[in-house]
Every structure is written in C-alpha cells, then in structure tokens.
C-alpha cells in the first residue's frame, strides 16, 4: 500500500489531504463552514479550488466571481505545472512557518501564497501574448494581496512570500526554487532601458524583511540577505550579506539552507 | 454633578463625545451623513459601533456585514476590556497625531486603529481555542487594513499604529502600553522553532518608519528606534538606537516619552 | 491642419489617444472589453473617465459608484488643472516605466497613478474647507491603492509613484514637478507640533525604494535618494545621497534628471 | 408542568417550535442551512427573526439589510401585537393549506404571509403619522411579494393570503379575523372621493381566486365568494355568492367556516 | 409673473414641484432621505431623475445601475416626448387616485407608472430597429414591476395603470390618451397570425380590475369595461359593458369621463 | 450528411442553433453582449446554459449565483429529460407566439418558460425526497418569475405559460404535453384534504387568460377554456367552454389543436 501512496501524484495527495483538513475545520468552526464548503468541498479538483479561491478574492465589484474562475480554471487545466508549483509552495510554507498549522489554512488565508499563484496565471497569459490581460490580473493581485509581481517575472516552485506586504518584483527578475522572501522586499530594476535589468535570485536563498535588491545582479544559491539591507552588487553563493550598502558578514557551511532555517540573525 | 462626571466610565464618556462629534460632522458634511449615521448614530453603544465599523470594512463579498457584526459584538460584550483598550488607543492617537482632529475621525478612518481592534478580537478567539477563526480574521484585517498582526501577539492599551502600511507583528511579540509604531515596521521572529522568538516592546517606546526588529529581544521602556534601523540585539531603556545594524546614538532624560513626543530626529 | 493639432489642448489630445488605445485593447482582449467600455468608451470626457475609474475602485460597499463619481466629476469640472496634472503624470509614467506600454494601461491599472489623482481631489476639498470629506477620501484611497498621502500635501504635476505600496506622505510635504517616488518611501514629519514639519522635494528628484525622509528638510532639485536611505538633513541639488543616515555619495552633471533616468545604482 | 406549558405565551411557544423545525430542516437539507441559520438560529427572538426575514427580502440594492431590519425590529418591539398576529397567521396557514408541512416553511417561503406582516408594520407607521415611509414599505412589499395592500387597510389576525399574486386591497378596506383570500382577488374602491370606499370582509369569510369585490360593501361573516365572481352589493352572512355579477347560490349551515374548510366548489 | 408661470414648460414645472415635494419629504422622513436624495436631489433634470429611478429598479445583479441609466438618459434626451408623457401620467395619477398625495410619491413608488415609462423607452428602441434590446427591457420591466406590455404597443399620454399586477398588453394594442387600466387586465390577441390582433382602447376609457379584452376590437371613447368582464366584440363609445361575455349595461351622458371618475359600480 | 443531421439529438441541435442566434444577437446589439456571452457563449452545454440562466435570476442576495448554478447543473446532468422538455417548450413558444422571434430570445426573457424549467428541477428534488429544498426553489421561482407552481405538480413537455403573471398550479395538478396556459390562470384545489384535489389538463388544451379551474376535474384533450371562465366540472375533449360558471359553447373539429392555433375567440 505504501508503494502506491509513494507513487501517487503529489497534487492528488495534496488535494485529498487539504479536503480532509477543511472538512475537519468546518466541523470545529461552524462560522467558517460556508467559506470552507465553497472553497474546498464544492470544487471537484485542486485546480478548481485554486481558481475559485483566487477569483473570489480578486474579482472586482463589476465582475461575477464565476466569470473570473472560469478564466483561471481554463489556464490551470491547460498548464498543470501551475497547480503543481502551488502544491510545492504550500509544502514549504507549512514547513517554514511555525504559525502555519495546516495547508488548508495557508491556501485560504496567506496573501503571499495567493499572490504567487495569481502571478503564475498572469505569467501564462503573458507567455501566450495576452499581455494586457496579464497586466490587469497583476494589478488586481497587487490591489488585493499586496505583492506587486510583474507578470513577466519567472517564479519557480517552493517559494514563500512571507506576509507579502510591500513586496515588489520586477519584469526581468528570476526567483528560483525554494526561496523565501519577506515583507517589504524589492527586487527592483535600474534605468529605463527595456533589457534585462532585475535581480536573479538563485535557489535556497532567504531575503529578510525590507531588503532592497536592485539591478541585474545575482544572489547566489543558499545565500541570505539580512533584513533592511540594500544590495547593489552580486552576492556569491552560501554567504550572508547585510547593511546599507550590503557587505558579506558571514560565510555558510555546505549544508545550510537559509530559506528553510529562516534564521534572521547574523 | 461634577463628581459623577469625574467618576463616569471612560467608555461611556468616549461614546457620548464621539457621537456628538459624529452628529456635528454629519451636519457639516452631508455627503458623509449616511456613513456617519450607520457607524455612530444607529448603534446603541460603543461596542456596537466598533463591531459594526469593523464588520462593514472586513466582511468578504460572500458574507453579510451583520453576520460578522454579530460575531464581533458577542466578543465585545463578553470582554469589555477590548473596547476600553480601543478608547485608550483613540485618546493617544488624538494626542499624538497633529493631523487627527477628532476621535470620531480616527475611529472612522484610521487603518492602524481599526487593525488593532480587529487583532484584539482575533486574540480573544485565539485565547478561547478558536485558532482557525482567529487566523481568518487576522487575514481579513491584513487584507483590508494593511497591518499583519498575529492573533497570538499581546497588544496592550494606548497603542498607535501610525498609517499601518506594511506593519508585521509576529506570534510571540508583546507590545506594552503607550507604544507608537510607524509604517513598514517589522517585529519579526527568527528561526522556525515554535518557541518564544519575537520582540518584546516595553511601554512608552516609539519605533520609526521602516525599522526591522528581529528575534526575542527587548526594546526597553521609553526608548526609541529610529526610522530605517535594523535591531537584532536588546535595547536598554531610555535611549535612541539607529542604523543598520542599530547602535545607541543618544541617551534620554528621565522625563522623555518618545511615543508621545513623536520626535523622529536624533 | 498640422497647426491646429499642434495647438490642441493636451487633455483633449490625451483623451483621444487613450480612447484609441482602449478601443484597440478591447478588440484584442475581449475579456477586458466590459471594463474598457465602462472606463473609456462610455464616458464623454477625460474628466468623466477619471471620475468613473476612481469611483469604481474607491466606493465602499455601502455606496453606489455613481454617487462617488458625481462627487468627483463636479470637482474635476470645477478645477481643470487636476485632469491636466493627471495627463502629465501619465506622460511621465509612460516615459519612465519600460513596463508601461500605453497610457490607457497606466490609467486602468497603476495604483500609484490612481492614488495621486484621488489625493488631488481630496486636496481640492481640503482647500475648500471640507476637511472631513478630504480625510475620508484619503482613507479610502490608502485602503484601496496603498499610498497614504495627507490631503493637505501639495503634489505638483508629472509625478510617478511607482508601485505605490507603503508610500506615506505627510501633511506639510511638498512634491514638485517631475519627481519619481518608489514603493515604501516615507516623507514623514517629526514631533507633534502642528507647524511645517514634513519634507520639501524639489523638481526632478528620484527617491529610491524604502527611503525614509523625515522632518522639514529639503531635497534639492535633480537629486537622488538611494534605496533604503534614511534622510534627516537637507540634501543639496544635483547629488545622490545614500546610507543610514544618508550621506552624499555622488555629485551629478548639470544635465542629469534622476527622476527620468530612473537609475537606482550609485 | 403541563399547566405552565398551557399558560405559556403563544409567541414564545411558536418561537421554540419554529426554531426546532428550522434546526431539523438544516440538518436534513444542508443547502438551506445558511439561510435557515440566518433566519431562525441567529436571531434571539421571533421579533428579530421576523424583522430579519422581511428585511432580507425587501431591502433595495442601495440599502443594507440590517438598516431595514433595525427599522422593523423597533416597531415589532414597540407593538407586540404584530408578532402575535403573525403567529396566528402561521397557525391558520398551517391548518388550512395541505401543502404546508411546517410553520417554519410558511415563515420562510410564503409570499402571502410575508406581505401581510410587512403591511402590518407599514400600518403601524401609517398610524403614527409616517405615511410616506408607510407608502414606500408598501411599495417594496408589493414589488417583492405581489400583494398590494394599502398601509391604511385594517388586517386582523389569522388571515391567509394564499399564493398572493395579484391581490389588491384598498385604503379603507377591513379584513377581520380568520379570513382566507386567494390569488388575484381585489378588494377595490369605487370613485375618487377620499371617504370610506372599500369592502369590509367579516370574520370567517373565504374569497376565491380572481374574485373582484368593489365598493364600500360588506361580506357577511362566514360567507364565501366563489372564484371569478364580481361582487358589487352587500353579501349577507353564511352564504355563498357566485357569478358576474355575483348572486347568492347557497345558504350555509350554522357550523360551516368557509375560510377553514377551503371548499371552492358550490 | 403669473404670465411666465403660465407659459412655463410643463416638464420644468413638474420638475420644480417634484423636487420641492422630495425635499420636504426628506426633511420629514430621514429614513427615506438617501433614496430621495439619489432619486430627486442629485439629478439635474427630470430626464435624469426618470432614467435613474428606472435604472435603479431594473438593473439586473450583473449590471451597474449607471450603465442602464446612461442608456435610458440618451433616449430621454433624444426624444423629449417620453418625459412629457410621464408628466401627464403623473398628473392624472395624482388626480384620480385618492391615495396618491404627491407626484413625487407616485414617481418613487407606483409600479404602474414606472412600468409605463420603461415601456415607452423600449418602444423607442423598437421603433429604431433595436428589437432585441426592446424585448430585454420589456422583460426586465415585467419582472420588476408586474405589467407586461409589448414594446410595440402604442401607449399615449395621461395613462394610469393602477396597481399594475397581472396587466398584459399585446403587440398591436393601442391605448389612447387619458385611459385608466386596473390590475389583472389583459388586452390580448387572438390567433397566431402576425397581423393586427389586439384591442384599440380609445380615449377616456376605464377598464376595471380583471377584465379580459381580446382580439382586434375597439373600446369606444369614454366607455367603461366593468371589473371581471370578458370582452370579445367592439364596444361603442360612452357606454358601460359588463359580464362574461360582456354586454352593454348602461349608456353614459355626454360629459362623463370614466377614466377620471373611476366609478367601478354599474 | 443530411441523414446524420436528421438523427441528431434535438438538444444538441437546439444548443447549436441557440448559440448561433445568441452570437448574431451579440453582434447586432452590443449592450446585451455581456449578458448573451454569460448566458450562451461561456457555457459548454445547454444544461449549463439553463442552470446558469435560472441561477442568475433566482439566487437571493445572500447566495452566489454559481452555488445555485451548481445545484441545478447536477440535477440537469443526472436527469436529461428536463433539458429535453425545455427544448420542446422552446419550440412551441416559438411556433405559437408571433412576438417570439428566436428561441434564444425566449430562453433569455420569457418568465413563463423560466418558471417552468425551475419547477421541473424543483419537481426532481421533490421526487427525491428533498421536499424542503423543492419548496424553497418553488418560492424563489414564484417571487422572481410570477407563476406559482407546486413542486409536486406534473408538467409534461411542450408547454407554454404565456406571460406567466398570476398563474397558480396546485400540488396534484397534471398538465400534459402541448398545453398553452395564459396569465392569471388558476389550476386550484378545493377543500383541505390531502388527497388528489387539482385539475388534470389533457394534451393540446388551451386555457385563456384569467380562467379559474378548480377541483379534481378533467379538461379533455384538445379542448379550450375561454378567458375569464370559471370551471368547476369536467370538460369533455374537443370543445370550448366559457362563462361563470363555464358551459360548452362550441364543439371542435377532429383536427383543431387549440393550444397551437391560440384562437381566443369563440
């Protein structure tokens, strides 16, 4: 039996487990039962649950939620990797945030998680030439959730945007797998040329609250940018930078993964 | 007669005075009359006015405002200290913010004030074992008002969250009486252990815009954290710290109360 | 014919051009057609389009959008300079932001642009003695768009509030023509006296992400405040300041206009 | 114990029994649970449940339901006989309509029942000199429920307006206890004088579908007006009238109560 | 001065007088003040007030009221006779209905009045070849107000549709000036041919509650159809018909105007 | 190829043809384009289009349309005959009503058509033991569309409820195929026993406006009940009855189908 479970699709696994959590939550907390039913128990798949949750939060007053849900669902069913990325995001949020008790809770409540999923959908439209729709979605996401992520930015899997407030990520930015980014962080461009002008954040990086990283520079894998730093130059892998402007203050061991330990001290 | 007035309950006093302000405001500004009537003149008590104002702003599209108002009112009527704390918050906002002409104005419009009241209600649910409802309320408050305050954090009385944008306060943080916190401030944790990992801010402290205070450290009473500082170590009482990382730049006299003088220079 | 076109009112010119963009966009992207029709094709003038867009985004649940639209339209038709300023803002956003393809896009989606127009309307009410309405509008704008700009602040023309999140601009602040301000910037006061206590930002200045500028100080024309800086003293014209606290790190040539080049490096 | 139950207030009795029915219904039919909870389980009294149900159905799009609920509740708490009459209406609907399984069902769904309660509230305002509010409520009730009953009409207790569609009852009409009125019935006036010009329907009468009764005439107690009749002259007690114009077609026994037997044949 | 008043446009006169009534009503009845302000005090003309009132009542949930208001206003400003007819309707309603205290009251609350105005706008679209829009408007009007009037029917001025419930008026029907029609009246067609197949009702006629008039027949000027009658043949001028099928029961004097006296007896 | 078309499922055929009509209509009438898109172009099947149209019109303010749409869609997909019956209704409405230009128009706008479909869904719930949900749906349908049809009544295919206002059809009524029923018709019960007490209307019958048919009686196939009649006794096949009470006034030929000829004269 173990074998089959091990081979089960992670999206299906997550969907089953989230529904169980939601069902238990609805029993314990009747006040939330209507929202939990609508978000987790009525949908037939994790695709649909994700499309619905985003649409319920993002639809403007002059648009019915199900119109937006349909738009999202068509994308999620065409491009399965978006939901698969979402599942990886949920796993890391659950692992890294001591305050996050269940994946259903993160799915329902985490602005950073929701903003990230909306961006990946906007990114799909961007890649399919529907840039104006991508911009509009991006604007709705930033109005409702906080993080302002350009639809062209490449956001890989297992990313945590903690709290989300004030986060800005620019057009040519890249955020690789397993990165943690805290509130009020900027991955900003410099100049008004149209070329590649935003940071590349490699895997396993953690960027502390309020850090500003500016220009087409690279934050090396498994490095850490301390809270409040201003980074204008490349950061090598496996080190901590801090200060205004930021300088290397510590080198890491081979096994340290800052985005997972979430240690903000230095 | 004077005697009785002197002994009058501060909540009752505030309620009378706020209603008078609101009544005068509705006369002067007919455009706002419907909102003022709904918020201040229809309710029978400050509890009800507070429950209604928060519910009107926080109810999601799929929930009637009066359902949420009832949830809030039940808490406020069970635990009177929440409204009493709100009254003390109003008093200090009115005293400290030169731009705040009336308490009714702060009650109606100040996101920081509103977020704080929502957190105290969420905190009550947290303390009564309804953590999932507490998280959901906390999420609604951060979506609508900006400040993202964990429902477990202890927020005492007479607190001003000025402007509110981008403020993040973590699970084991404590903010004592008469503290002022400005926009984009983080009271953040470090590590992913579940223990006590957030700052303790003692009474009379003022924390300037954009400051990041991280870890289970103490900001001593009547001290000041200058704008843009990053604080990773304990700060003794009655001093100003500044810089990235923050260092002591000035010692205060015995009588200085930074949260009241709101002097951001150093 | 060319002559007349050259002499044409810039507001009329912008209105024609934005409508053409919107019409083309509605053809290309049917999903957005209802919003584009409502925002750009139904209105009879740029005044009306602006009043409508702001009202659609700012009306609380208990107010019909057209009630708020009428309030705004009356101001815009009484004081034409507000729309004229908006047109200049659109032009600079379009010039300075490589990600901004059309003026219609900025009009529809840019929170910073929208917040600025709402502030200018609130400022008109402030100047006409309707301070309570001005405060309420200011609060709605900050709730919906992010930037929290006091209605008394003087905001000139050709201003870009990039991204908008976490921006706070105080009561006696002045921002002159052609300034660029990025996310999480504070133009804050110091002390709780009622006098002149906020920064004066002269023309052509660029203020980087997360900078905190505090007190009645002057940022000289064509200067630049680097990201993450904390500025507590006057900054002379044509230089870059950086650091916590900020210090001059570079002098500029006579021809450099930081708000236009948007070069965040130093 | 039996004694106390026998002496229990009928309104309290009805409230307990309706809540039990609603609770059981919510268990059996989860789709209706949110409506049942809102209508029957959240309110603290039958007054509140009635005020809420009417407000939820009658509030126009530009009015919050709780504003209207408060208006209604104030009347119901000032004038207890309105709810007491409602209870008697529920009892007779339940007795006379074989399709009505529970009182909760009639309370929730019967347009005729709901229209009658709205009229009694409007009647209270009429009697207290607030004729314009009474008219507006009367209009809302007729828009939403169908029956168009002038707020000045006197509607006694134990009345069934079956189906409700197309019923019109004029200003000086009187409908006494225990009357049944079917769809498309008119109790109309004649002439345009302001005096007493509408029918008086005595107790125990049944008026069949589509009957038109016109002028200041009397329908004697325990009589019956057959479906489709047009009545222009007094009808004595205990008889059936039919036809256009109506004529006596049958005399009744002393014990027959047409409004209860609901026998439409003759 | 009297002279000018006598020559004043009746629409302008009505507008001034209705606004005065509305203003007085808003003073007397604060609960209705928001609706009165929106309906009568904010609009700049009777055209706009009419467009707004109809739009507020007829817009479906998925359409903003101001979108529909604009559609209506464009018609009313293009074809002034519609508002002029409305004014004549208001005058006769006020004269003939003893329960109608003010024109503002009828404008705000009378379903029959509102349905008639909606039909005249739909009729305009019908005449301009936009039959599908005309049908949709006609459907909305019948859903919200009750009377189901085909958009092709010709409805002249000074018409009262009393109560409105259940009224059906077919495609080739004509209703001339100064006619009164009561609830549940049908002006129906016969057969399924496409030609002229509905009644022609000449001026000054009164049709009692529940009467069914069927086929391409003529109801002669100043005649009366008694309540509950079924009319299948032409009715000469100046007589009363009654019964199923209807027969002449009375001849009228030269001066009798049934639609004004509203005498339903015979 | 012709052969396949001839064998094509009538529901599929209707769906294709209605979509084509809707597409053409959206081109001709841009004002209706959003409603047409939502109703006909977004859905993937006639089941979904029907579920959506009914849900959009019937959802109360406190329920999202897509929640109700899902409830309906599950029924329509479980019991295909409901949509098949709807298609037959559309065909006969289109044939019998000269004012009905397209099936899409009837689907979008005809209250009688919509009420009938809602009743068949309620009937399905009734048959599956969910009587309380069936009642609630029935109530919503009668509030929104007019006709008040008991969920237990048996409504066969090819039925036209013309205009719909004031129609009441009771619990044990049966309406067979190809019947036409006009406004204000009652198929009512007599007495308050629970047994079989409502009319049985056989195929091909036409019931004129305002007719009242009462008791467990039979209206024979291809007969006609004239407008305004009151029927209390069985009517044999192939005749016309008229009057109060109704009597046979004409015998029909073998080939006459009153519900199709819609001849209301006699």
Which tens digit of pLDDT belongs to each residue from B149-165?
999 999 999 999 999 99
Q: What is the pLDDT of residue D228?
A: 95
Q: What is the pLDDT of residue A193?
A: 67
Rounded average pLDDT over E24-32: 93
User: Looking at A47-51, C139-143, D21-25, F3-7, which range is the least confident one?
Assistant: F3-7
Q: Is some CB atom of chain C closer than 8 A to the CB atom of A139?
A: yes
Q: Is some CB atom of chain A closer than 8 A to the CB atom of C217?
A: no
Asked if residue B170 has pLDDT above 60, the reply is: yes
- Phi and psi of B6, rounded to 5°? -60, -30
Give the gap in angstroms from C-alpha D180 to the nearest C-alpha of chain F. Answer: 12
**Per-residue DSSP letter, C41:** I
Residues E121/E72, Cβ–Cβ less than 8 Å: yes
Which tens digit of pLDDT belongs to each residue from D125-176?
999 999 999 999 999 999 999 999 999 999 999 999 999 899 999 999 999 9
In 3-state terms chain E splits into helix, strand, coil percentages (rounded to 5) of 45, 15, 40
Give the gap in angstroms from C-alpha A72 to the nearest C-alpha of chain F. Answer: 13
Cβ–Cβ below 8 Å for B184 and A182: no
Residues in chain F: 266
Q: What is the pLDDT of residue B261?
A: 85
Cβ–Cβ below 8 Å for C69 and E69: no
Cβ–Cβ below 8 Å for D139 and E110: yes
Q: Is some CB atom of chain B closer than 8 A to the CB atom of D171?
A: no
- Half-sphere exposure of residue F159: CA atoms within 13 angstroms, side-chain side: 27
Please report residues of C whose CB lies closer than 8 A to that of A60: 35, 56-57
Q: What is the pLDDT of residue C3?
A: 47
Select from F198, F126, F206 the least CA-distant residue to D209.
F198
Give the gap in angstroms from C-alpha F172 to the nearest C-alpha of chain E. Answer: 25
Residue B158 CA to residue B181 CA, distance in Å, equals 11
Which tens digit of pLDDT belongs to each residue from A210-255?
999 999 999 999 999 999 999 999 999 999 999 999 999 999 998 8
Between E144, E183, E265, which is nearest D190 by CB? E265
Residue B164: closest CA among chain A residues belongs to which residue? A165
**Per-residue DSSP letter, A169:** E
Claim: this prediction has a pTM higher than 0.90: no
Residue B56: closest CA among chain D residues belongs to which residue? D64
Cα-trace Rg, chain C: 19
Mutation for testing the D interface, residue in B66, B68, B77 having most D CBs under 10 Å: B66
Reduce the DSSP state of residue A145 to 3 states and report it: helix
Mutation for testing the D interface, residue in F70, F119, F168 having most D CBs under 10 Å: F168
Give the residue with greater pLDDT, C200 vs B96: C200
Q: Is some CB atom of chain D closer than 8 A to the CB atom of F214?
A: yes
Residue E139 CA to residue E150 CA, distance in Å, equals 9
pLDDT-derived band at F264 (thresholds 50, 70, 90) equals confident
Select from A137, A148, A146, A141 the least CA-distant residue to A173.
A148
Asked if residue F7 has pLDDT above 90, the reply is: no
Residues in chain C: 266
Please report residues of B whose CB lies closer than 8 A to that of A263: 190-191
Q: Is some CB atom of chain F closer than 8 A to the CB atom of D242?
A: yes
Rounded average pLDDT over E104-133: 96
Asked if residue C6 has pLDDT above 60, the reply is: no
What percentage of chain A reaches a pLDDT higher than 70? 97
Tokens of E22: 């509305």
Q: Is some CB atom of chain E closer than 8 A to the CB atom of D131?
A: yes
Please report residues of F whose CB lies closer than 8 A to that of D260: 192
Q: What is the pLDDT of residue D265?
A: 79
Asked if residue D62 has pLDDT above 50, the reply is: yes
Asked if residue D5 has pLDDT above 60, the reply is: no
Tokens of C22: 């919107």
Q: Is some CB atom of chain C closer than 8 A to the CB atom of E67?
A: yes
Size of interface A-C (CB pairs under 8 A): 128
Q: Is some CB atom of chain E closer than 8 A to the CB atom of D216?
A: no
Residues E138/E150, Cβ–Cβ less than 8 Å: yes
For chain C, give the mean pLDDT.
93
Query: What is the 3-class SS of chain E, one letter each residue?
Result: CHHHHHHCCHHHHHHHHHHHHHHHHHHHCHHHHHHHHHHHHCCCCHHHHHHHHHHHHHCCCCCCHHHHHHHHHHHHHHCCHHHHHHHHHHHHHHHHCCCCCCHHHHHHHCHHHHHHHHHHHHHHHHHCCCHHHHHHHHHHHHHHHCCEECCCCEECCCCEECCCCCCEECCCCEECCCCEECCCCEEECCCCCCCCCCCEECCCCEECCCCEEECCCEECCCCEECCCCEECCCECCCEEEECCCCEEEEECCCCCCHHHHCCCCC
Tokens of E153: 């029917």
Q: Is some CB atom of chain F closer than 8 A to the CB atom of D91?
A: no
Size of interface C-E (CB pairs under 8 A): 17
* Chains in contact with F, counting 3 or more C-beta pairs less than 8 Å apart as contact: A, D, E
Which tens digit of pLDDT belongs to each residue from D191-215?
766 789 999 999 999 999 999 999 9
Residue A194: closest CA among chain C residues belongs to which residue? C98
Q: What is the pLDDT of residue D60?
A: 93
Please report residues of A whose CB lies closer than 8 A to that of B244: 228-229, 242-244
Q: Is some CB atom of chain B closer than 8 A to the CB atom of A218?
A: no
pLDDT-derived band at D6 (thresholds 50, 70, 90) equals low
Burial class (CB in 10 A: 0-12, 13-18, 19+), E256: middle
Please report residues of C whose CB lies closer than 8 A to that of A167: 165
Residues C112/C96, Cβ–Cβ less than 8 Å: no
Q: Is some CB atom of chain B closer than 8 A to the CB atom of C216?
A: no
Please report residues of A whose CB lies closer than 8 A to that of B139: 108-111
Cα torsion B101, B103, B109, B111: sign = positive
DSSP β-bridge partners for residue B247: B242
Give the residue with greater pLDDT, F53 vs B191: F53
Give the gap in angstroms from C-alpha D113 to the nearest C-alpha of chain E. Answer: 18
Q: Is some CB atom of chain B closer than 8 A to the CB atom of D33?
A: no
**For residue B145, what are the contacts with CB-CB under 8 A and spacing of at least 6?**
B57, B111, B112, B114, B115, B118, B164, C143
Residue A184: closest CA among chain C residues belongs to which residue? C184
Select from A222, A181, A209 the least CA-distant residue to A96.
A181
Residues D226/D245, Cβ–Cβ less than 8 Å: no
- Phi and psi of A157, rounded to 5°? -100, 160
Which tens digit of pLDDT belongs to each residue from C149-162?
999 999 999 999 99
Burial B120-152 (b: 16+ CB within 10 A, else e): bbbbbbbeeebbbbbbbbbbbbbbbbbbbbbbb
The helix (H) or strand (E) run that includes residue C214 is strand C212-214
Asked if residue A186 has pLDDT above 70, the reply is: yes
Tokens of B151: 């429902």
Cβ–Cβ below 8 Å for D29 and F130: yes
Q: Is some CB atom of chain E closer than 8 A to the CB atom of D144?
A: no
Asked if residue D3 has pLDDT above 70, the reply is: no
Residue A211 CA to residue A225 CA, distance in Å, equals 7
Residues B238/B251, Cβ–Cβ less than 8 Å: yes
pLDDT-derived band at B3 (thresholds 50, 70, 90) equals very low
Select from B127, B150, B129 the least CA-distant residue to B196.
B150
**Sheet of D239-242: strands edge to edge?**
D160-161, D180-181, D206-207, D224-225, D239-242, D247-251
pLDDT-derived band at F213 (thresholds 50, 70, 90) equals very high
Rounded average pLDDT over E120-138: 97
Please report residues of E whose CB lies closer than 8 A to that of C65: 64, 66
Which tens digit of pLDDT belongs to each residue from A82-114?
999 999 999 999 888 877 788 999 999 999 999
Give the gap in angstroms from C-alpha D66 to the nearest C-alpha of chain B. Answer: 6
Q: What is the pLDDT of residue F192?
A: 63
Residues A258/A223, Cβ–Cβ less than 8 Å: yes
Q: Is some CB atom of chain D closer than 8 A to the CB atom of F217?
A: no
Residue F258: closest CA among chain E residues belongs to which residue? E191
Give the gap in angstroms from C-alpha F66 to the nearest C-alpha of chain A. Answer: 6
Select from E163, D142, A144 the least CA-distant residue to C143.
A144
**For residue A116, what are the contacts with CB-CB under 8 A and spacing of at least 6?**
A86, A89, A147, A149, A155, A159, A161
Q: Is some CB atom of chain E closer than 8 A to the CB atom of C69?
A: yes
Reduce the DSSP state of residue C235 to 3 states and report it: strand
For chain E, give the mean pLDDT.
93
Reduce the DSSP state of residue A224 to 3 states and report it: strand
Residue E206 CA to residue E227 CA, distance in Å, equals 10
Cβ–Cβ below 8 Å for B265 and C212: no
Mutation for testing the A interface, residue in F66, F71, F73 having most A CBs under 10 Å: F66
Residue E262 CA to residue D172 CA, distance in Å, equals 16
Give the residue with greater pLDDT, B64 vs E194: B64
Residue E246 CA to residue B202 CA, distance in Å, equals 92
Please report residues of E whose CB lies closer than 8 A to that of F38: 62
Tokens of A231: 């980074």
Q: Is some CB atom of chain B closer than 8 A to the CB atom of A261?
A: yes
Cβ–Cβ below 8 Å for B38 and C62: yes
**For residue C175, what are the contacts with CB-CB under 8 A and spacing of at least 6?**
C153, C154, C155, C156, C159, C169, C181, C187, C201
**For residue D240, what are the contacts with CB-CB under 8 A and spacing of at least 6?**
D223, D224, D225, D226, D248, D249, D250, D251, D252, D258, D266
Cα torsion B185, C145, B91, D67: sign = negative
Which tens digit of pLDDT belongs to each residue from C94-152?
888 877 788 999 999 999 999 999 999 999 999 999 999 999 999 999 999 999 999 99
Q: What is the pLDDT of residue F48?
A: 97
Please report residues of B whose CB lies closer than 8 A to that of A208: 212, 214
Give the gap in angstroms from C-alpha E73 to the nearest C-alpha of chain C. Answer: 13
Q: Is some CB atom of chain C closer than 8 A to the CB atom of E69?
A: yes
Give the gap in angstroms from C-alpha B155 to the nearest C-alpha of chain C. Answer: 22
Rounded average pLDDT over E150-165: 96
Cα distances (Å, whole numbers) of residue C113 to A26, B136, C172? 42, 31, 21
pLDDT-derived band at C7 (thresholds 50, 70, 90) equals low
């Amino acid at each position: 039996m173990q074998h089959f479970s091990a081979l089960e699709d992670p999206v299906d696994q997550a969907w089953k487990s989230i529904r169980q959590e939601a069902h238990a939550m609805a029993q314990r907390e009747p006040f939330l039962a209507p929202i939990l039913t609508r978000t987790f128990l009525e949908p037939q798949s994790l695709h649909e649950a994700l499309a619905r949750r985003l649409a319920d939060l993002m639809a403007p007053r002059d648009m019915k939620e199900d119109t937006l849900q349909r738009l999202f669902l068509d994308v999620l069913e065409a491009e399965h990797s978006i939901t698969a990325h979402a599942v990886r995001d949920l796993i890391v949020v659950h692992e890294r945030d001591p305050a996050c008790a269940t994946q259903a809770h993160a799915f329902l409540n985490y602005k950073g998680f929701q903003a990230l999923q909306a961006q990946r959908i906007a990114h799909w439209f961007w890649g399919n030439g529907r840039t104006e729709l991508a911009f509009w979605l991006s604007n709705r996401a930033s109005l409702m959730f906080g993080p302002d992520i350009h639809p062209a930015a490449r956001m890989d899997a297992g990313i945590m945007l903690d709290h989300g407030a004030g986060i800005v990520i620019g057009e040519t930015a890249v955020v690789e797998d397993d990165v943690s980014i805290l509130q009020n962080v900027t991955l900003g461009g410099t100049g008004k040329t149209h070329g590649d002008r935003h940071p590349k954040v490699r895997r396993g990086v953690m960027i502390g609250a309020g850090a500003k990283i500016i220009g087409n520079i690279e934050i090396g894998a498994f490095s850490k940018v301390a809270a409040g730093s201003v980074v204008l130059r490349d950061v090598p892998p496996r080190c901590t930078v801090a200060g205004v402007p930021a300088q290397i203050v510590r080198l890491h061991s081979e096994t340290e993964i800052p985005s997972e330990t979430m240690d903000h001290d230095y």
